[in-house]
Each structure stands twice: as structure tokens, then as C-alpha cells.
Structure 1
């Protein structure tokens, strides 16, 4: 049995503006820090938006004046939008805090999620997220960017399910110029939506975090 709550805050056609999702994260985070609710996994789809983590450099931003929301997570710039499943695990980490271990654990969970949908994802040393082999180069299918405050995580992961990839064209996604971006649908040749993947994410998280204390 899992020991965390799951909040499905909005999947298509009910998209969540990024500002609303960020405010929801902060409210839940405060409750988890205060011990007023258990660890919580938030799943949703955002309206189209660029978000820039603290390590984003000027040349990685869109060159056409498209607005960017600067956020307090790690990592660099990325795109969120319809067809992409975003997950915010708001979990208390054990002491001593090991943020890199948290990221690696999320990667392993997402690899298992992708395997259930016919993809062989893998980790790449020195690069966060989950990757697959493309025709010409490696392609990222899931991105990760996190923050830890008062021992509790925020932000999380984004799995490209059946989204268009145009949004990635005007930026250097995650600051990586020598690799591509793909989706589950493009890689497998069949339509796989965020709603199709959300249940898999819940199941795999429940298995992985079953021993985590509330």
C-alpha cells in the first residue's frame, strides 16, 4: 500500500496554467513541511509555457520574445504543454538529504513507467532525465528538475507523451544542444496520452515508495 496522496490536478481537456500549478505546489509543500498532510504526488498537464530553472543561460532562452517564467527549481529551460504529463512529487526526504539520489531514483521510476509503454529508456551519466536511442542521436523523453526546501521536494518530472515538439525548437532544451527530444507516441508509433500514462505513474510510484514513511 502506498503512503502518499495522489492529486490529479488536471488532464486534457482541463489544462492547468503554470502559475496555478506552482501555487498548488507551494500550498501542498507547506502542508507537508508542517506535518499536516502526507507526501503528495501531483499529476497534471499544463497550458503551453516555457519555464527556466536557476542554471538557465541567456543564449538558451527563446529568441522570438516568447515569455519565460523563471522558477526556483534546478536545471535549465524547458517547455511544458498539452500532451505532456507533469508530475510533482512533494515528498519529505530522509536525513541526511541526498538530492542527487532523489533525482536518480525518479529517473529509475520513469524508466519503469516507459517500459510499461514499450520504450527502453535509460540514464545518461552527467545528464538528468530519461533518454532513448534515436535515429541520429540520443533523445530525451522525460525531463527532471527539482528543488528541496525544509527537507521536502518540489517540482519534479515531465514525460513527453503525445505532445508536439515545436515548443522545443526555439530553445536549447535543458541546455543540451547535442541531443534531441522525442515523445512516447513518436518513438513507439502509437498514440499514448498523458491520461494513458498517469495510471502507470501512480502504480510504479506506489511500488517504489511503499516503504517510505509518511
Structure 2
């Protein structure tokens, strides 16, 4: 497995081990655990070359999923079930109105995780810009696709801070990818109020519907995203530098939090 490199480069070759067409399975609305089991079965078969590269398209009933880096303080406060999963990242939410896509792809050698993640992001950026969110891009140090605070959403209910419109979390086993991405289309955002989504508390969450000020369903985004994913994974899309900001330094944030706590303690003792 290669070391991380400069994340922006021409995707002038396929990242896939196979040249056969990618199969798409649309699972409709399916419980997370059932979809995860189905995904794991397809991934095991792909590792044995028993099936082609496959993309699963699904919506889930409301559920929280906790990645391997989830911290106790991230956990929900509303009693909704949490499923511990074997992907990277921290806690997030899935629910109706969110387009969830699980690419099960055997990667070409040498496996390059950064390359794969950047291609997923590029496909999402291409899709949401095509749909009208023209400033969507990356924040250095944070995965996923973001809308900058300098962009005014069409719906006044949208956050005015930097806001995430799509989340990523992956796992690669025996050279085969699992898990994937979740694009917020017209899902409600109230469930995010009960967690620290992806461990980030200085930014917010948004949807295509909020940004565009009109109804946008997962079905509306499905075909554009699938086409973009095929292009990105197969080497027909350039991975460009869409970075508009950087994540705060976690050490500086921790020091500032400690400083404020000491100041508050001094005030209370005065």
C-alpha cells in the first residue's frame, strides 16, 4: 500500500483492477444491518473474483453508525440505536432522503487509499456542482464534500458556516473497497443535533434541497452521481484542487479550550 501523496492529480488511469462494466444494485429502502451484510457478501465474492465490481445504491431508515475512531463524547443523546461499524471515521447518521452509495471495487495494485478517496470526492463535487451547488469543494484535513461559509444557501434555514453536504467512510480488505459515501439530498437534519457528526463541532451539515431552495430527492441525484463515479474510478475524470479552506489545528483548539476552562474556573472562584 502506498504512502499518502499530494491528493490532486490527473486520474488518467483506472483505479480498478478490472475493465468489465460496474454493476449497479439498487436496494431501495433497507435496514442498515441488512445492507451491511449484503455488502459484505458481495465484497467477499469480489475478492474471489466471483462477481464484477458492484455499486450498491440504498436509503436507510434512521440510524447512527459509529466508525472506528468514534469518541464517547460523539455519541447520541436521543436514544436512537447506534451500530458499530468497521469503516474509518467517527459517528454519522443515515436516513431517508439521503443517497447512500457503497462501491465494492477491486482496486488495481499498488492500492492507493488516498487516490481512491479523492476520486470519490471528485465524483460528488462534480455531481453537486452540476446540480447547482457550484462552490462545493474540499476542506484540507477533512474528508467529504463541503459548501463554504462564503456561499449563501437559497434556503435561509441553512447554516451560514462551512457545512458538509456529503460524508465518506471506507474500508479496504483484500484490495476490495467497502462502505462509501452519503450525499444529503432532502433528509431532515435534526438527528445531527444529538451527535458530534464526524467528530467536528465547528461546522454544520447541509442538503442539496437547502442549498438550492427546492426539492431534491435521492432519485434526482442518483444517475448523475453513478455516471460521475464510473468516470472517476475508470480514469475518465481529472481530480482537481477544489480546496477552499483548512481544518483548525486540533492542538491549538485543545489549548484554547483548556485556557477558557481555566478562565471560567478562576471567575467562579472569585
TM norm structure 1: 0.93
Once the two structures are superposed, what CA deviation does each residue of 1:103-151 show, in whole Å capped at 9, x if it has no partner? Answer: 1111011000111210121011110000002453100000000000010
The Cα shift of 1:2 comes to 7.0
From the superposition, tell whether residues 211 and 133 of structure 1 become closer, same or farther in structure 2 (CA, over 3 Å): closer
Give structure 2 stretches of 5+ with no counterpart: 1-18, 153-159, 237-270
- The answer for the alignment partner of 2:261 in structure 1 is none
Superposition pairs of residues 69-88 of structure 1, within 5 angstroms:
69-88=83-102
Q: CA RMSD in A?
A: 1.5
User: 1:130 aligned to 2:148?
Assistant: no
- The answer for the alignment partner of 1:4 in structure 2 is 22
TM norm structure 2: 0.74
Deviant stretches of 4+, over 4 Å: none
User: 1:145 aligned to 2:169?
Assistant: yes
Q: Larger C-alpha radius of gyration, 1 or 2?
A: 2
Superposition pairs of residues 5-44 of structure 1, within 5 angstroms:
5-10=23-28, 15-44=29-58
- The answer for the alignment partner of 2:5 in structure 1 is none
The structure where strand makes up a greater share of residues is 1
From the superposition, tell whether residues 36 and 2 of structure 1 become closer, same or farther in structure 2 (CA, over 3 Å): closer
User: 1:92 aligned to 2:106?
Assistant: yes
Once the two structures are superposed, what CA deviation does each residue of 1:152-199 show, in whole Å capped at 9, x if it has no partner? Answer: 000000000000001111000110000000000001101110011111
Once the two structures are superposed, what CA deviation does each residue of 1:13-42 show, in whole Å capped at 9, x if it has no partner? Answer: xx2100111011011101110101111111
- The answer for the alignment partner of 1:105 in structure 2 is 119
- Alpha-carbon contact 1:53-1:72 (below 8 Å) kept: yes
Shifted more, 141-150 versus 57-66: the winner is: 57-66
- The answer for the alignment partner of 2:69 in structure 1 is 55
Distance 1:65 1:185 in 2: 27
Distance 2:83 2:114 in 1: 24
- The answer for the alignment partner of 2:262 in structure 1 is none
Distance 1:203 1:97 in 2: 23
Give structure 1 stretches of 5+ with no counterpart: none
